């Protein structure tokens, strides 16, 4: 087994342990819990209800992991929603500490990837350098399709992945926003 598979197995085992199981959860359950905060919360809140937990484990929501799965229309709609949320904050950006924390989490995330679609390629971004906020350049989050360099700055945005060590937090170490 290679190192990335060991890590994936460890994460499946860790989630299984958190849920009180005697075995790791499936990769599908792990991926769904990382992508869908509602599903993750349901898993954790039903660990004392074996029938409900078994149903959730056997029926994880299906999410698209293919970066090509987001159409241009979907990406434009997501960007418009982010812009609207950001405008409601008065166009505030995060402070330097939050920017660096968010960027470090993204740089360590397996869902960070290079731009692949034409839209992702043409979105202007800073060139990659060692300055906090510019270390991701034009890389994209596989889970939400966002340009990471832009998203990490917006006070109104949050990471779509849940921190397995603390399901109340995102990978950015921020409280999960309830919708």
**What is residue 170's predicted lDDT score, i.e. its pLDDT?**
92
pLDDT surpasses 70 at 69:
no
CB 27 within 8 Å of CB 13 = no
pTM of the predicted protein model = 0.60
| Cβ partners under 8 Å of residue 144, min gap 6 | 78, 151, 160
Question: Highest mean pLDDT: which of 21-35, 38-52, 60-74, 87-101?
Answer: 87-101
**Could you report the per-residue pLDDT of 126-179, keeping only the tens digit for each?**
677 778 888 888 888 988 888 999 999 999 999 998 888 888 899 999 998 765
Domain boundaries, the chain: 3-58, 67-170
- Cα 166–chain centre separation: 14
| 75-126 tens-digit pLDDT | 888 888 899 999 999 999 999 999 999 999 999 998 888 887 767 777 766 6
Length of the chain, please?
179
118-121 long-range contacts (CB < 8 A, ≥24 apart) are: 119/72, 119/75, 119/76, 120/75, 120/145, 120/147
Residue 65: is its pLDDT beyond 90? Answer: no
């Amino acid at each position: 087994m290679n190192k990335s598979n060991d890590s994936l197995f460890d994460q499946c085992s860790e989630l299984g342990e958190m849920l009180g199981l005697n075995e790791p959860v499936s990769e599908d359950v792990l991926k769904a819990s990382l992508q869908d905060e509602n599903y993750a919360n349901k898993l954790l809140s039903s660990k004392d209800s074996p029938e409900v937990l078994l149903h959730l484990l056997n029926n994880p929501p299906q999410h698209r992991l293919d970066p090509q799965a987001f159409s241009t229309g979907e990406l434009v709609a997501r960007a418009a929603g982010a812009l609207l949320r950001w405008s409601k904050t008065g166009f505030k950006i995060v402070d330097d500490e939050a920017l660096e924390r968010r960027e470090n989490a993204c740089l360590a995330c397996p869902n960070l990837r290079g731009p692949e679609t034409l839209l992702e390629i043409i979105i202007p971004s800073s060139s990659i350098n060692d300055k906090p906020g510019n270390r991701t350049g034009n890389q994209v989050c596989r889970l939400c399709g966002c340009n990471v360099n832009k998203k990490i700055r917006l006070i109104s945005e949050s990471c779509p992945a849940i921190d397995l060590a603390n399901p109340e937090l995102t990978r950015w170490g921020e409280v999960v926003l309830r919708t």
